[in-house]
Amino acid sequence: KITTEGRKAALDLRVLNHAAPDLPDSKLNLAADKIFQVWKETAADQGTQLVFCDLSTPSKLRRRFSAYDDLREKLQKHGVPAEQIAFIQDYDSDVQKHSLFKDIRAGRVRILLGSTQKMGTGTNVQERLAALHHLDAPWRPADVEQREGRILRQGNRNKSVQIYRYVTEGSFDAYM
């Protein structure tokens, strides 16, 4: 319980307490800025990005705070159109995922957020991937390799890619 709460606090204190302030230097704010920057820089090629976050995932339960929703709102405020941002959790069937992956490969959806489990094996969207973002550290070191295997693979048009790890100083992130 302590480890899980420490990981949540490192992501954003609002995961534990929805009334906590939105700190300007939080992971979500820094990630939103970087994701937007890459989105803008890769617009001509319709570059795509994956954002991994295993905590505070979208849920049918009515939570007061969701890191995914917060990040989407921040990106939209920056100017990213809503239709270019997707959550893998919104696509349940193989048919839906196939359609989503096709849209990502075509550059129509340019930012996909998801957990390691939902965006692991079978997520073949590497064609236009320009950047991958780790908002949290997964439990198992092999999961980092699984995440990065989505972008570091054959079939990616980009000769070089960017991988970002967001770490909250003095938090459980260093332990993980």
Query: What's the pLDDT score for residue 148?
Result: 87
Q: pLDDT of 50-91, one tens digit each? A: 999 999 988 777 678 999 999 999 999 999 999 999 999 999
Q: Taking 80 as the threshold, does the pLDDT of residue 32 lie above it?
A: yes
pLDDT at 169: 87
Q: What are phi and psi of 129, to 5 degrees?
A: -65, 125
Across 106-110, average pLDDT: 97
Burial class (CB in 10 A: 0-12, 13-18, 19+), 162: middle
State pLDDT tens for residues 118-133: 998 788 999 999 999 9
Measure the CA–CA gap between 115 and 128, rounded to whole angstroms.
20
Copy the structure tokens of residue 32. Answer: 């939103």
Q: Which secondary structure element, helix H or strand E, spans residue 103, and what is its range?
A: helix 94-105
Confidence bin at 5 (pLDDT 50/70/90): very high
Per the model's pLDDT, the better-predicted residue between 58 and 5 turns out to be: 5
What does pLDDT average to over the chain?
A: 93
